[in-house]
Structure formats: C-alpha cells, structure tokens
Structure 1
C-alpha cells in the first residue's frame, strides 16, 4: 500500500515525507493527525510536536540534531532551524545473541562461479593489473595501455566517435555555431570491439595515481599496502609494476605488504625499475613481454563453483538522499545479514558517515579490543579533521542537504543501515585486509571513490553501492552494483543504475524482499552472468586516500 509519510522508529519525533506535501495539508499516521504549516518536499522531514530552542531531534532512535529556533508542530526540519548534534558514546559490554534471518535458509547450498586462487580465495572476475609505484611512471603506464588494450580486444568502442565525425562534417560544411548546437547527431551505437585474445581474462586494468614520491612516509606505506591489496585480491590474476627507483614507495615495501596479505604468494608478478633497466624502450619492451606472458598464464584459469561464503561484499553509498536510509540502505543491510548468515564477509566503511551511531556499533563488537580500536579511529579521525578547520559535521554535500540529509547525524544514521544487524567481528584501519568472516568496520573517508577503492583493497570482490541522486562510480577490478533509492532516479539514469529499491517507498516490496532480490542479483554478477552498468561503461575509478587530507 502506497504511503505518503513514514515514521522510521517508534521513538522518533519527526516524520519523513514520502511525497511532496503542501502547506495546510493534513496527514494521518498511527492514529494521529498533523497539519502542515509549510510545504514539505519529498525526502524531507516535519516536526511531530513543537520544539523549543535546544530540543533534541531524533530519527532512527538516535539523536540527529538540536533545534536552533522554535519549530511548530507540522513545521519543516531544515538547515536553518536544526544543527548537527549526536550523543556521546562509551565502551560497554552489550552483546545480545544474534540470529541470521530465517530466509537465509533459501540460499543454503547455493554457489557462484568464480576464479579460484592458490590461497583459497575466489574471485568474481579475472583481471591483469598494470601499476605505477610512483606517479612519474604514469606516462609509461598510459603507453602500455595504448599498446595492449585495443589489440588484445579490451577496448570499448563508443557511439561518441561517430558523433564527433558528424560535428567535423558540419564544421567543414560551414555550418554556424547555432546550427551545430541544434544538429541531430546520428548515433551508430557501440561499434563492435575486437574479439578477446584471452577469453578467460576480463581485462587489463591500469591503476594510475598521483602518489609514491614525496609526501609523508605514512602515505607511501599506505599506498604500498593499498596496491598490495589489489595485487593479492582474488579478482587479480597477476600484475606488472613499474617503479622509477628513487621514490618513497619502494618496491621492497610493496613486497613486504604483499607478504603480509599472502605469505605464500604465487601469482605472476613483474616489478620493473626504470633506473636499473636503463632506456625507456628497454623498460617498455620488457614490460610488454612479461605482461603478455602473464596473460597467457592468467587465461588458463576458468570459472568454477564456489560457496557463497567466499563472497566478500563492500557496502557503499554515494549521492545519498532522504530515502537512502529507508529503502536501499536497509535493503542491502538485510542482504548483508543473509550473506553473513551463510558464512560470508561484509565491509562497512566511511567512518565520517557513522557519526552518531558509534554506540550501537561498539556494542555490536564481539571483541572489546575491536570496540576500543573503533572508538580510537573515529575520535582520532574527527580530531584531525577539526584541526584543519573541518569535522564530521561538515560531511553532508550540497546534494545531500537539498534532498533531505541536513545534518551528518541524519546522513550517518541512514548510512549505517547498510551494515544490517549482525555482530562486528573485526575493526580495521586503512588499508588492512579482511581476515575474518562476518561484519568488518573499515576506516575510510566518506568520499565515494576513496572508500570504494579501499574496500576492494581490503578484499571486497563485489560492492553494493546505493545512491539517491545518481553516481557512475565503479572500480577497476570489482563489480560495483549501483542501487537506486527511488524509482524516479532508476528510470532517469538507467544507463548507470542496476537495481531499483524505490519499490519499498511505493509499498510494493518489503525491505526483506528487496534484500533477497539483491542477493540473487549479486550471485549472478559474481558468476559473470550479468554485466553491470559500471563495468559496461568502463567506469574504473581508483583514488588512494591520503590520511588527514580527505573527509
């Protein structure tokens, strides 16, 4: 049944508008009526009672703000009358027994077809990586891309090339600027790409970045750890690494980080140091030959059945809106609980977007040391942000605010729903690897790409990414499944969105039903049966985190 308002938790004192509501309109909820004193746009909230200055605003049963001015019952909750506020939290033992959803039984014995690695991990894809240890090698990496991608059959041919040809023809024909702008360009669709030479290799990916040379030694160590996470990742068949030789991010550090993650590392790995080899032509010829030989080996691996316990799913949200915390996020939270009940692994990250729900998450930590570490990481991160004139309270973007997420606490309370209800089995600092099944908290920024980049480095072989405003974010080696919080977005941006959970808002589907549907979809993606939008569009976003710089 379609609703126009929603109270998320019985203890909340604000109501969410599920559709545009008009001033003077009376709405009914749980036997109570509310007359709106102003227009309330869909995704925004209105007061259930009069709020005096300083009164607490509660959503999701947590403190999300305080009134800055008097707010009438039926009045809008907005950035002008509410300021960010959260409860303090403490370390305590409060481990209630947890049971996986009963519907997990539907997935017992299910498998996905993946690429099995020597260390026991299983990939959802099979990529070769070409990586610079320092930004000085980015140009050489680009040259390798030009030399390899097209002839090996991995180039993606887009319709825009034919449109450029049309524009050239119009210009040569002497058309005016106005005529060019109004021209109907003929789309020929994607041109057929060359057939893959290595059909069992999904692609060759190039992880360009701007680090490795100067900066702090901490950043160089973290970069090497991040790159080691990709090289040892189950979706990676092997790697070619180019090093200049004199940078902070030394090859020896990279090798140490690889050994931390996989002590018996057996994938083909070629590390070439330009200052030792000599001329660029010698470097590039050797890199090409070794990469080609590595691809021959990588192509020998084929997809085979694996239990769902071999899935490690990263949870991400970006371009969030006022529906994120009541549709897509709780839906993938249920998916998370299902997978954890089946022995799988899930990563919840974006620490600035867990502000205000720290008490719940520390209470869910099975190990008291993990609770202490989580508290330390959150507080240290926030303190560093404040030291440079920022803070977690400045996290919401203009798009978030416009669509109903007016404080970081409101945004965070909804974002945390991605983590479901299961116990926290481990807490990790960036860019440590996941080593335990269950729910892991990983310290990353709220920045979509930096966080997704980190989750994959920590072992996520598939990412569930919710969005209410639309974002094309992807990853070079792990499929990033894009999930819309509302039907309007799903229909408007169908070229970058894979799944719709606006059905929850419209009353056509429960959170649990959507969560099961998402897991079914994820299994098909993991098996290579579905090519998601980000992969089809070649959306290979990769940004390492420089600690203390990004929020």
Structure 2
C-alpha cells in the first residue's frame, strides 16, 4: 500500500511512503503523510478528506499534484447543525470488567494515591516545591501505598479580575485537583494577600478542612522558612492516613479517561485516534466515561458531534463554545487556523479543519452525553466534551480537574508528555516514530498501517492497558518521572 483513500467522496489520498514523480500518478514529489490530488481541482473548489471539506484550492490543482499549505486555503465552513441525528447507543458489555483501585469517601475511585501541595498563587510556588522535594523516594519508602508528594504550582492567582471567566476557571481547577480521586491528601499554600484567597475557595466549593485537607499562608505563618517547615510537618502527619488504604476490585465504570492528542500528524486521524475512539466505546459499554477536549481542535468537525448529541441543549452548548472561540480569536487578532503547528504541517496536516476531523475520532461513536466548561466537574456517564484550549498541558489540567483518573494521549510527531496525579499513556500513530521514541510510547497504533492490524484490535489493546494501568502498572511517562511540571491552568482574561 502506497496511498490511503479514506472515502470515495475524497479528491485526495495520503501517501503512506514518499512518492516519486510518476509513482501512483504523482506529478510532483509527495512527502510521506502528505496529500496528492486524485482529480483536477479548480481554484476555489472544496478539497475533501474523510468525506468532509478540509479547505479550498488556492489555485488550480492538477491530478497527481502535491496538496498542502502552499495551495490550500482555510475558510470557515458554513454548516447546518443537526442534533441527535446520528445516535448510536452502545449495548452494555456482556461482562463487567474490573480494576484494582482506591475507593474514596463518596464512592469515587482513584487509580493512584498522591498527596498534593496546591498553591493559590505563584508567590507560594517556591514554598510548595520545597515542601514536596523534602519527600524523597527514600523518605516515602515506608509508605508503600503512597505514590508521591507532588507540588502543583502555577503562574497566576493574583493581578486578575476578582470575578469572571478567568477567576472562576482557576477556582474550578484548584478545587478539581483537591477532589480528584487520585489525590488522598491536600495541603494548600498561599501568600495571604492574593486575589485567589484560600478562604474564598473553601467557601465557594464547600471544602472542609481536616486531617487530609490542610491550608496555610506564608504571611500568617511568618515567612518562607517557617512555612516550609510547617508544610513538611503537615505532610508528615498526613502520610500514615493516606497510606492507610489498599487497592480493591472496582468496576471499569469508575474510570474517567481524558482523551487527548498532541504532536499530531497525518496518521493521527487514520490510526491512533480511531483506535482510541474504539477504546472509548468499549469503556462506555462498561458504564465508564471518556472526556474529549481541545475546542479549537474540533473546529470544523463540531457538526459531527452535535449530530451525536443526546439532547438538543447539549449540541447547542457545544455550538456556543465554538462561537466563543471564534470571538476570542478574532478580538485577539488571531485565526482559528493558527492552531496547526509547524510540526503538524510537516507531518502532513494543513488546515485546522483537517486536523479537527482527525482529532474528533478520539471520541468514538457513542452519543454525546454532556458538554462542560473548563475544569467543571463531569457528572454524566459516557462520552462527553470539556471546553479547553488546544495546548496540551492546559487542556489535560482541565480534564484532570474535571475528574479524569487516567489520560490517553495520541501523538504522531512524538511527545514526552506525562501528568500527575493521573497516569498518562501515549499512543503512537506510526511505527517509525514508535521505534524512534520507544522509551516514551506505550502503544503502537502504527501497526494498523504497517502490519494491517484492525483498528478494533488496537482499540482493545488500549482499553486492556487502561485496566492494567488503573490497577497500578506504570506508564512509560511515569517510569521517567514526568508530571511535576505539567500543571498548567488555562489563564483567561486580562492580567491587571
């Protein structure tokens, strides 16, 4: 196989290997992963892939020509949205799968057991890091059920509006991490005079200070050194309590998986993303939840999701997010088409429309059961969507704050991403990159092309890996110690 055609309606194919002039009708060199026209396409006419519009010819394109950023224009597609016209509910699984998880108060289930040192403001970041760094593997060795002490620090929390989107998003993010089921104990450290007051957070979200939820402010304690000493003492007191849990059999319905992609290429929408979508379908059949995000990366594909909306208001909320992003980019003098990165384009992607159509495949085929704001708690079961930017660390931070206890991350160019407290597995879109970055990749979905393995088989492999990882098996990002610097709350709005 030298080219891939995804639909009979397409007027381009994708080169599996680089095509020389004359090979498969190519009239120009077609790089691996890039598109070749299979018919003459007049200037201004739609270019189609996935049986969908990915852009418009910027000039006359002849059969056999290379189709890429030099001759393909982005234009917003005027779509007539439909709601609930493509509902394919999944049948409940014949047998109930389980994993070994940590049961929390209130019924939530964790896949890891961390202590979190959260900061209300950047001014307390150093204190939080110094507290966490005290708890080396040697000092934690007696606490065999504790995965670590992690400082989740960020660069905001003050000089921001006291109400509005940005303030509320940060509050939801901090609260979401504090209640994520992978966190057994929380210490929240502030400065004292910041806009993001810890007391306000406690009041707004009904948090209850106690043995496993402690707070302190540098100004009240008496300076940085005393704050670090007090923080270490508080964590030392929590450790035996957090350690006093054991894994036990839990239903797969308690898994909530962040569906994520980064460093995408032309194969993302052909191999890894459809395989991840099938794994999501398998999880939904068990009563579990898959959370798709990155709103700019479904732009141009949102009509496929609204057709899967279980209720009209769910689809309408998704369209509302799209309209917000159009306004957001316009008033910041940007374009929705700014999203594909240089690496994405080198890998064969052109417009955001093409990228989005491949990215949306991560969500599988089941009904869309809910649409949530950034870091908002996900309460619905099944396939849902959470608003976020396309920037991976910010997007995953929101998904974890929403309750995700696992992260599944597809990549074509390669990624060294990892997150805490929720373990991140990485899925390669192509075999060449999988071999080159074998220390970072958990699953090779590239076998769908290189070895002819069915998408469903790789999807099952991904799903089975979730059960093992949820039970304690480490991902490759965990083995390499990733996750301490990937807490990146989305900063929205003006810095004052």
Do the structures match in fold with TM over 0.5?
A: yes
Q: Secondary structure of the residue that 1:128 maps to in structure 2? A: strand
Distance 1:368 1:265 in 2: 40
Counterpart of 1:470?
414
Cα-to-partner distance string for 1:325-350 (whole Å, 9 max, x where unaligned) = 00000000000111111110010000
Instruction: Pick one of 460, 481, 495 that aligns with 1:538.
Output: 481
Distance 1:266 1:332 in 2: 40
Cα-to-partner distance string for 1:270-303 (whole Å, 9 max, x where unaligned) = 0112222324444333222211111110000111
Instruction: Pick one of 216, 220, 240 that aligns with 1:276.
Output: 220
Counterpart of 1:220?
167
1:286 and 1:66, CA in 2 relative to 1: closer, same or farther beyond 3 A?
same
8 Å CA contact 1:140, 1:284 repeated in 2: yes
After the TM superposition, which residues 170-249 of structure 1 pair with which residues of structure 2 at under 5 Å, given as runs? 196-217=141-162, 218=164, 219-249=166-196
Instruction: Pick one of 484, 489, 492 that aligns with 1:547.
Output: 492
- For residue 151 of structure 1, report the CA deviation from its aligned partner: 4.6
Gaps of 5+ in 2: none
- For residue 24 of structure 1, report the CA deviation from its aligned partner: 0.8
Cα-to-partner distance string for 1:449-495 (whole Å, 9 max, x where unaligned) = 11111111111110110000111111120111011001111111111
Q: Secondary structure of the residue that 2:246 maps to in structure 1? A: coil
Counterpart of 1:123?
110
1:265 and 1:85, CA in 2 relative to 1: closer, same or farther beyond 3 A?
farther
Q: Secondary structure of the residue that 1:49 maps to in structure 2? A: coil
Distance 1:124 1:150 in 2: 19
Counterpart of 2:55?
65
Q: Secondary structure of the residue that 2:134 maps to in structure 1? A: helix
Distance 1:494 1:298 in 2: 34
Counterpart of 1:38?
28
Q: Secondary structure of the residue that 1:8 maps to in structure 2? A: coil
After the TM superposition, which residues 28-177 of structure 1 pair with which residues of structure 2 at under 5 Å, given as runs? 35-100=25-90, 104-105=93-94, 108-149=95-136, 151-153=138-140
Gaps of 5+ in 1: 27-34, 154-195
8 Å CA contact 1:428, 1:443 repeated in 2: yes
Distance 1:257 1:12 in 2: 51
Cα-to-partner distance string for 1:62-92 (whole Å, 9 max, x where unaligned) = 1110000011111111111101234223443
Cα-to-partner distance string for 1:335-384 (whole Å, 9 max, x where unaligned) = 01111111100100000000111111112111222211111111111211
Structure 1 range deviating more: 241-250 or 6-15: 6-15
8 Å CA contact 1:221, 1:249 repeated in 2: no
Distance 2:404 2:203 in 1: 21
Distance 1:266 1:121 in 2: 19
- For residue 9 of structure 1, report the CA deviation from its aligned partner: 2.0
8 Å CA contact 1:228, 1:257 repeated in 2: no
Cα-to-partner distance string for 1:517-538 (whole Å, 9 max, x where unaligned) = 111111101100x211111111
Indicate whether 1:479 and 2:466 are aligned.
no
Distance 1:137 1:93 in 2: 47
**What's the C-alpha RMSD, in Å, of the aligned pairs?**
1.7
Q: Secondary structure of the residue that 1:148 maps to in structure 2? A: coil
After the TM superposition, which residues 318-357 of structure 1 pair with which residues of structure 2 at under 5 Å, given as runs? 318-357=262-301
Distance 1:266 1:113 in 2: 27
8 Å CA contact 1:350, 1:446 repeated in 2: yes
Q: Secondary structure of the residue that 2:139 maps to in structure 1? A: coil
Distance 1:514 1:388 in 2: 41
Instruction: Pick one of 310, 313, 316 that aligns with 1:369.
Output: 313
Distance 2:493 2:290 in 1: 25
Distance 1:374 1:255 in 2: 30
Indicate whether 1:500 and 2:487 are aligned.
no
Indicate whether 1:448 and 2:395 are aligned.
no
Q: Secondary structure of the residue that 2:146 maps to in structure 1? A: coil
Distance 2:67 2:91 in 1: 35
- For residue 265 of structure 1, report the CA deviation from its aligned partner: 8.9
- For residue 516 of structure 1, report the CA deviation from its aligned partner: 0.5
- For residue 130 of structure 1, report the CA deviation from its aligned partner: 0.6
Normalised to the residue count of structure 1, the TM-score between the two structures is 0.86
- For residue 221 of structure 1, report the CA deviation from its aligned partner: 2.7
- For residue 397 of structure 1, report the CA deviation from its aligned partner: 0.3
Cα-to-partner distance string for 1:69-116 (whole Å, 9 max, x where unaligned) = 0111111111111012342234433334414279x54xx222000010
After the TM superposition, which residues 305-324 of structure 1 pair with which residues of structure 2 at under 5 Å, given as runs? 305-324=249-268
1:502 and 1:544, CA in 2 relative to 1: closer, same or farther beyond 3 A?
same
8 Å CA contact 1:46, 1:76 repeated in 2: yes
Counterpart of 2:470?
526
The alignment covers a number of residue pairs equal to 490
Counterpart of 1:23?
21
- Max Rg structure: 1
8 Å CA contact 1:225, 1:257 repeated in 2: no
Distance 1:248 1:527 in 2: 39
Distance 1:333 1:99 in 2: 14
Distance 1:208 1:307 in 2: 33
